[in-house]
């Protein structure tokens, strides 16, 4: 009896230890592979705060203000004394407010102030403008309100707070009597503690070559002179704290390193603020590029923060881009560009587009909010070389106001992994895998894995149909010569379908496995009537789809190869 009891106790102990190891490994792996970027700030949604005003939403209706708000909700402050308030979870010395003010009758925006209180004490006035918000009419949009269909209503203000906000403090935005805008739509705030970086020992400051901060004069020549001297001496270009203006033309760069004191501190501003890459080893760290772009001009690369050909060994880290057409648009002869820890916000077009044969390049741990086209894309136009081996991993994408969170257009061996995409607005999906725009045909292996898509897809009339949160579209050519693996993704509250597959060209060699679809406004899986080819489904779990688990409108033209352990359809 004693021996049996001892044996049982030992067995239980071994089982307990084994179970603990399993739980630890699961927790560690789950944490290590959580979707999205690791961000240094905390975000506070307006609808989660305390307010005496009205919370609007949710709605996904195209052109509604709710559809363009994070979480599809916002708070409208429209009378003196209205406020929204949050408790700061951590200390901070900076704030971002995502807001909307009305436009002017002429489409040039208005300005207004809003009051910031901390723990009931007035701290400062915050200046806001709608100059960079609001577009009208049809693509590629206009700033003329009479064209109708006003949208892109939100913008952001970023600023240092008057004093450090302590953890646990009550942070309040309020309309006081001298805050006179007709209304303030408050979507969210970001609170962050930042500190200034120091220059490296080998740095040459642009101020030593004549750049002057904050005076509105063009500092382009001084920056170019600094770059030339740094290349000659083998040193680093330093952008000190301040705002330096570039209005004449983009700055051409190759084989140089440019550093700043941090994206909150060192800023290049103006209509042509940005760089045209023309060779290897173009390296950029820790500053901001803040443009003045209010319209979309697809014939001008000078509206992009980074353009040209990055050659080999180029690198962009810790750069904040705002109010430009695109943050990064790379042409051919770019191999191995790395983009990481960046913020790209409030753009008229793409966040990043790896185009014309850009290969072996990556975007990681980056946040993109309110891009006016695909937030991240790799595109291989059919008249050029195909891109190979591009990677989008562990990024957070919020509210692309047109098109997709992440898009693949041709090429080979790309991967889209561990990204968080939420609140797509119109004309696109969370993730789009497509042969649209006549790309180089797909080849090799395409991997779409470990992504989380929340409130993605479209529910509108802009395209004439409603793409799914994951949208596979064999549009201009067959997608049969590659291997496509769509695995381990989580789709929550899809606007319409969770996964949609569309033609008219054929799809093949596609495996859709271990995906979870939790909530959809339409079907969990929708095969459109013009789809062709086949796809294999295994362990695809659908729940909460309003219209049902699957609809195959293509009938016999598309073979749904149903494997093991699918549920809900």
pLDDT per position as a tens digit, 16-49: 434 443 333 333 333 345 899 999 999 999 999 9
User: Residue 545: CB partners within 8 Å, gap ≥ 6?
Assistant: 497, 498, 517, 519, 520, 522, 523, 524, 568, 569
Q: Which two tokens stand for residue 371?
A: 């891009």
Cβ contacts of 9-12, under 8 Å, gap ≥ 24: none
The rounded distance, in Å, linking the Cα atoms of 374 and 409 is 11
Q: Which residue has the tokens 């009305």?
A: 102
**Using alpha carbons only, what angle is made at residue 60 by residues 54 and 61, rounded to the nearest 5 degrees?**
95
Closest to 473 (Cα-Cα) out of 399, 557, 531: 531
Strand ranges inside 195-249, DSSP E: 203-205, 236-239, 242-245
Q: ∠ CA 56-57-58 to the nearest 5 degrees?
A: 165
Where along the chain do its domains lie? 42-192, 352-562
Phi then psi for residue 226, to 5 deg, are -65, -40
- Residues 450, 456, 96, CA angle at the centre, nearest 5°? 90
Q: Which residues pair with 389 in a beta bridge?
A: none
Task: Please name every residue paired with 43 in a beta bridge, in sequence order, or none if there are none.
Answer: 190
Tell me: domain 42-192, CATH 3.80.10.10, correct? no
Which pairing describes strands 42-45 and 50-51: parallel, antiparallel, or unpaired?
A: unpaired
| pLDDT tens-digit readout, 42-77 | 999 999 999 999 999 999 999 999 999 999 999 999
* Per-residue pLDDT reduced to its tens digit, 513-565: 999 999 999 999 999 999 999 999 999 999 999 999 999 999 999 999 999 99
Closest among 239, 327, 231, 358 to 282, alpha carbons compared: 231
Residues 6+ apart with CB under 8 A from 510: 472, 479, 484, 486, 533, 534, 535, 536
Q: Are 272 and 302 in contact (CB under 8 A)?
A: yes
Q: Is 491 exposed, middle or buried (0-12, 13-18, 19+ CB in 10 A)?
A: buried
Give the angle 501-329-272 at the CA atoms, nearest 5°.
Answer: 140
- Taking the C-alpha atoms of residue 456 and residue 495, their distance in angstroms, rounded to an integer, is 6
Closest of 129, 153, 128 to residue 141, by C-alpha: 153
Residue of 278, 281, 333 whose CA lies nearest to 306: 278
Helices (H), strands (E): how many in the chain? 2, 50
Q: How far apart are CA 553 and CA 546, in angstroms?
A: 17
In whole angstroms, what is the distance from residue 242 CA to residue 377 CA?
32
What does the DSSP 8-state code read for residue 33? Answer: T
Query: Would you write out the chain's pLDDT as a tens digit for each of its 569 residues?
Result: 333 333 344 444 444 434 443 333 333 333 345 899 999 999 999 999 999 999 999 999 999 999 999 999 999 999 999 999 999 999 999 999 999 999 999 999 999 999 999 999 999 999 999 999 999 999 999 999 999 999 999 999 999 999 999 999 999 999 999 999 999 999 999 999 999 999 999 999 999 999 999 999 999 999 999 999 999 999 999 999 999 999 989 999 999 999 999 999 999 999 999 999 999 999 999 999 999 999 999 887 779 999 999 999 999 999 999 999 999 999 889 999 999 999 999 999 999 999 999 999 999 999 999 999 999 999 999 988 999 999 999 999 999 999 999 999 999 999 999 999 999 999 999 999 999 999 999 999 999 999 999 999 997 656 667 899 999 999 999 999 999 999 999 999 999 999 999 999 999 999 999 999 999 999 999 999 999 999 999 999 999 999 999 999 999 999 999 999 999 99
- How distant is the alpha carbon of residue 184 from its chain centre? 24
């Amino acid at each position: 009896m004693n021996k049996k009891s001892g044996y049982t106790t030992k067995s239980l102990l071994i089982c307990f230890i084994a179970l603990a190891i399993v739980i630890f490994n699961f927790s560690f792996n789950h944490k290590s592979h959580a979707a999205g970027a690791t961000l240094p700030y905390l975000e506070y949604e307006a609808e989660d705060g305390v307010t005496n005003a009205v919370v609007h939403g949710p709605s996904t209706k195209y052109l509604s203000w709710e559809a363009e708000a994070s979480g599809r909700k916002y708070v409208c402050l429209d009378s003196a004394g209205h406020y929204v308030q949050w408790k700061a979870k951590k200390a901070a010395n900076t704030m971002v407010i995502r807001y909307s003010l009305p436009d002017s009758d002429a489409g040039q925006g208005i300005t207004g102030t809003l009051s910031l209180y901390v723990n009931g004490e007035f701290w400062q006035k915050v200046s806001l403008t709608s100059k960079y918000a609001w577009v009208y009419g049809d693509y590629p949009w206009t700033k003329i309100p009479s064209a109708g269909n006003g949208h892109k209503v939100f913008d952001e203000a970023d600023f240092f707070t008057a004093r450090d906000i302590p953890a646990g403090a009550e942070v309040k935005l309020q309309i006081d009597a001298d805050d006179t805008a007709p209304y303030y739509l408050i979507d969210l705030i970001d609170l962050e503690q930042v500190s200034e970086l120091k220059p490296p020992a080998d740095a040459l400051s642009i101020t030593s070559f004549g750049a002057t901060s904050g005076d509105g004069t063009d500092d382009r020549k001084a920056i170019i002179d600094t770059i030339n001297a740094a290349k000659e001496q083998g040193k680093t270009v330093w952008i000190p704290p301040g705002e330096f203006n570039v209005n004449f033309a983009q700055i051409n760069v190759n084989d140089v390193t440019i550093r700043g004191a941090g994206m909150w501190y060192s800023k290049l501003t103006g209509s042509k603020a940005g760089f045209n890459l023309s060779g290897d080893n173009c390296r950029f760290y820790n500053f901001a590029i803040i443009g003045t772009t209010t319209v979309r001009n697809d014939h001008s690369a000078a509206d992009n923060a980074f353009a040209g050909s990055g050659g080999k060994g180029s690198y962009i880290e810790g750069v904040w881009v705002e109010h430009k057409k695109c943050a990064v648009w790379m042409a051919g002869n770019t191999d191995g560009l790395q983009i990481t820890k960046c913020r790209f916000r409030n753009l008229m077009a793409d966040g990043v587009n790896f185009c014309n044969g850009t290969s072996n390049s990556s975007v990681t741990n980056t946040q993109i909010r309110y891009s006016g086209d695909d937030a991240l894309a790799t595109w291989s136009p059919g008249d050029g070389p195909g891109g190979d081996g591009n990677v989008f991993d562990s990024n957070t994408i919020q509210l692309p106001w047109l098109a997709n969170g992440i898009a693949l257009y041709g090429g080979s061996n790309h991967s889209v992994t561990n990204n968080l995409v939420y609140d797509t607005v119109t004309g696109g999906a969370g993730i789009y895998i497509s042969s649209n725009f006549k790309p180089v045909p797909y080849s090799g292996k395409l991997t779409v894995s470990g992504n989380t898509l929340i409130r993605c897809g479209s529910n509108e009339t802009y395209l004439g149909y409603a793409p799914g949160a994951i949208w596979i579209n064999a549009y201009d050519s067959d997608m049969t010569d590659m291997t496509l693996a769509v695995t381990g993704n989580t789709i929550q509250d899809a606007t319409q379908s969770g996964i949609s597959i569309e033609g008219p060209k054929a799809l093949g060699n596609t495996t859709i496995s271990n995906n979870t679809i939790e909530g959809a406004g339409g079907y969990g899986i929708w095969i459109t009537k013009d789809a062709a080819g086949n796809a294999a489904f295994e362990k695809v779990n659908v729940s909460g789809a309003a219209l049902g688990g699957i609809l195959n409108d293509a009938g016999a033209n598309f073979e749904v190869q149903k494997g093991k352990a699918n549920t809900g359809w």
